[in-house]
Structure 1
Amino acid sequence: MNLVIVLIIGIITGALPGLSTFAVERHPNRTELLLAAIMRGVLVSLLTALSLKARSPWWHGLGLGALYGLLTALTVALAMGGLKSPDTIYIVPFAPVMGAVAGVLIQKLAFRRSRNTS
């Protein structure tokens, strides 16, 4: 497993939904929300990578990434007040999708064998 690739995938998949807070004017703490989204993306990527084996099929990465994405999103949503928070509908559905994307990318890129096998 290439840890640098796992971290880069986590940063990218965390930053993409985090950048959406800059499109909404009612969020006063946009930078903090972006950093929290990046941290959540890195956490999902690390959990997914540590749960996979080198020879796992791509759909294991998809499933584990979606599961960890959903669990971390539910944790964030519950901390923000659950269904009372208007942001819950934006956090929970999108997180498993980004987790699944991260899982597939991790399985395809971070576990790729070196081509220089002599």
Structure 2
Amino acid sequence: MAEDESPLIKALPPESDYITYLTIVEYNLNPENLPILHKVLQDETLAINIGWDLVHLLVPFLPESEQCLQDIARLGNPREVILKVTESLRLIEYESPDDESLDELSQTLAGALDSR
């Protein structure tokens, strides 16, 4: 699909309102559309109005979505962006290391200390 045929380009405000556009982004967001979204987010007004609401949608696409998240951090509404980033970080489920990997880590650290 050509870039100008992308729903992310065709539906840009004023073609649609910000809430509708956000919904269109949500339904069409995939790794192939991230460069288009990055280009679209250069519009400061758009980034301010919807950027903070894109954070939770972009986190699952990391590291590919890093440019878009940086655009939002740079151009978006700071207060809302900080709140959404904090919320997204809180929701990340980290894998807890198993006992075997903890033992290996302990031995590695102990070996490093012994060699001093």
Larger Rg: 2
- Given the two structures, how large is their TM-score scaled by the length of structure 2? 0.26
Specify which structure has the bigger relative contact order, considering alpha-carbon pairs within 8 angstroms and separated by 6 or more residues.
Answer: 1
